[in-house]
A and B are shown apart, each in its own frame.
Chain A
């Protein structure tokens, strides 16, 4: 067994790696509820040194809450956590890190304007004679990175200049620098390209060889089976099962996660939905971010755009919507040549766009439901405001927004209800084409389902829906056609019912051209 190649910064020798097989983390009876809604009920975990535990479940199954409890972000309502045999309670994430449990969240806790070393040792910079020992900090960081088998990343680089994969390695290095005995990783491959995933695998292999235990959260089943010794399945906040990975296979795991067949989770097109004339046509469209895009979107269609992060999915929607206007090619809306130079022009032409980040760009959080829902109509179609105002209660109740009143500020709503307000905001403009960027990100399963149903209902009314999503099951389950992007271009188009593997092949361009 190798020990870590560095010493911890406070001068004490690095905690010795636990002997292989000893239990390093044990959680029992963890329970948590928010505002009376139980999100985690009586969950037990046991993790041995050098082991990888896969934590799987749909979004909203309680994975994030479980991770956050272990990481010290939330305190459990009931249950205990033991690390290395000692019962611990955390009131602050740093306490969890000092106890040997670090977490690499999907949203990185990094300062983009600071260097790799400054980020790794943030809050516990090594000192010599009272001053920060920058040279040692850089040296230690380089050693940490080398110990992880990472090359081509230097301690002095500014984090802003790094790729997502490199930033993730910085987070992992930070976790290791705390002499972590357990590292949790939340969807670590969500934003990585294929070769970067292999690098992550090799980093994980090095960590487990040192006796570090890993909690690995992912919805990519292949990775779960590649990496994990044990798999815990969560569903609706409850632990469905914990079994050795060898006792499970893909189909069984999906059945346990979903608890129902996927086809019923994603509603079918409503009867009477007709695919009509083209509403949005792009020919050779491009700007600085996307190029040579040919795309036809017809009335009544739901088309999904898949692709890795950074493949230009969001940028394509932004180009169509005039956020980053197209500079080349032609664009037609409902048969008329239009190339919107601004979102305002796009909205006038009949487009609507549900943005990726509802808190930053979708809503004015400290304004009321009413003001948010009427925000776009008031600004762009002032004469329609009165009618929209009258129809709003009906629209909101058809969206099943659970709010006490329309004068409630949207910041107090749940993510799902906020997203429904975003949709109301756009539906009041009576759009012909609705662009949706990650329409179900961070919302619970119930709200997801009603957004899926809304998409089908829009299609049935002859609206065209163009959806970007990182969740492949969602793209596959909802799309009549799947457009796959890679490096800012359309890499291929796949029919409904394609498999995740087919989509990923086109998205990564790894094997063959599966374009149909």
Chain B
């Protein structure tokens, strides 16, 4: 989106994230070079992009849910469920791929609808609603599946392996989804209403908006996008796994990426481009730390610090909207003012 640095226009949150991403790319390039490796080798670029795609799908969906003022904690279990359901249905047969994919998407859509309905009609906050449905799915998985399940045929595994130059096919699918979601947010009524309901439900209601619709749409899309992530994981691993979603911490990592991308956790403000930049920042961090041989625990520490610092910066911008009248801003304030 055209939120890049136009001269004289203050930087938006998305602008900050993009700057941060550019910065992390530069740092990544330098640090990788210090290790004697090429950050921009086609192998590394493809590794970076692969790292983006799984979390990318989930984070796009999470963006929608957060924009509308809700949360989706059920995504990891949807990912796992889709992975075993699709793998079981495929059972290694090429002819079963299409029915398996459709089944997976349909099941995910139903879970999303249920999440949305609980939030919209029962007035339960998304945090609790999706925690509940997530536990239900998780219990179902634990009862019915032990260890890996089913298998993906070669034709389906190709989705995970195909590359166009250094760009994996999965990244292209992700970008396609991102474009569609951006189009929805900017060019459809339901997209506009999603912002309205997340911004102020009462204002939306008084403007004649049926406030349940955007909530249902956001939750359904979130689950469906999580299902795409699940299918992609299946294509890469070739077998279904009932724990693949929870191992990835996709619920909290996707929320972190969304918030890192400048979307307000309270809803009503934010966009998908920021989210993708947030996911990319995580991918670059992981990549660089992997090259440098940083221990897994330390990697978590770094990720945690990045999240906290970024959100603290945004929070500072949000806390005080009444502009100061008399004092010259301090250095940090000046930078932040500039960034507004």
Contacts and interface: CB of A to CB of B under 8 A. Distances in A.
Interface of A: 92-94, 97, 109-114, 118, 122-125, 127, 130-132, 134, 160, 286-291, 312, 315, 327, 487-488
A93 B326 contact: no
B204 A122 contact: yes
A127 to B, nearest CB: 7
Contact of A123 (B188, B195, B199, B208): B208
B332 to A, nearest CB: 14
B227 to A, nearest CB: 25
Contacts of A110: 203
26 contacts: A93-B206, A94-B207, A109-B203, A109-B206, A111-B199, A111-B204, A114-B196, A122-B192, A122-B203, A123-B193, A123-B207, A123-B208, A123-B209, A127-B189, A131-B188, A132-B189, A288-B325, A288-B327, A289-B322, A289-B324, A289-B326, A290-B325, A312-B325, A315-B322, A487-B325, A488-B325
A245 to B, nearest CB: 32
Contact of A288 (B189, B202, B204, B326): B326
B162 interface: no
Contact of A286 (B186, B203, B326): B326
Contacts of B324: 288-289
A419 B196 CA distance: 32
Interface of B: 183, 186-189, 191-193, 195-196, 199-200, 202-204, 206-209, 264, 268-269, 321-322, 324-327
Contacts of B195: 111, 113-114, 118
Given A111-B204, A287-B326, 4 more contacts: A109-B203, A111-B268, A122-B196, A125-B192
Nearest to B12: A158
Most A CB within 10 A of own CB, among B199, B202, B206, B327: B206
Nearest to A123: B207
A10 to B, nearest CB: 12
Most B CB within 10 A of own CB, among A114, A286, A287: A114
Contacts of A122: 192, 196, 203-204, 207, 209
Nearest to A488: B325
A204 to B, nearest CB: 23
Contact of B187 (A134, A286, A288): A134
Contact of B192 (A132, A160, A315, A487): A132
A289 B325 contact: yes
A111 B325 contact: no
A239 B162 CA distance: 78
B16 to A, nearest CB: 16
Closest 5 CB pairs of A and B: A288-B324, A94-B208, A123-B207, A113-B269, A111-B199
Contacts of B200: 111
A166 to B, nearest CB: 15
B269 to A, nearest CB: 4
Contact of B206 (A94, A112, A312): A94
B204 A123 contact: yes
Most B CB within 10 A of own CB, among A94, A160, A288: A288
B326 A132 contact: no
B208 A124 contact: yes
Contacts of A92: 208
B12 to A, nearest CB: 10
B326 A111 contact: no
A109 B188 contact: no
A453 B206 CA distance: 39
A291 B324 CA distance: 11
Contacts of A118: 192, 195
B80 to A, nearest CB: 35
A290 B196 CA distance: 35
Contacts of A291: 325-326
Contacts of B199: 111-114
B268 A113 contact: yes
Contacts of A124: 208
A312 B322 CA distance: 11
B187 A132 contact: yes
Contacts of B268: 111, 113
Most A CB within 10 A of own CB, among B195, B203, B268: B203
Contacts of B193: 123
B215 to A, nearest CB: 16
A40 B4 CA distance: 55
Contacts of B264: 113
A134 B203 contact: no
Most B CB within 10 A of own CB, among A111, A130, A312: A111
Contacts of A327: 327
Given A110-B203, A113-B269, A132-B192, A488 B186 contact: no
A6 B186 CA distance: 24
B189 A125 contact: yes
Contacts of A290: 325-326
Contacts of B321: 160
A111 B187 contact: no
B217 to A, nearest CB: 15
Contacts of A287: 326-327
Contacts of B196: 111, 114, 122-123
Nearest to A487: B325
Contacts of A127: 189
B298 to A, nearest CB: 37
B339 to A, nearest CB: 14
A17 B83 CA distance: 62
B67 to A, nearest CB: 10
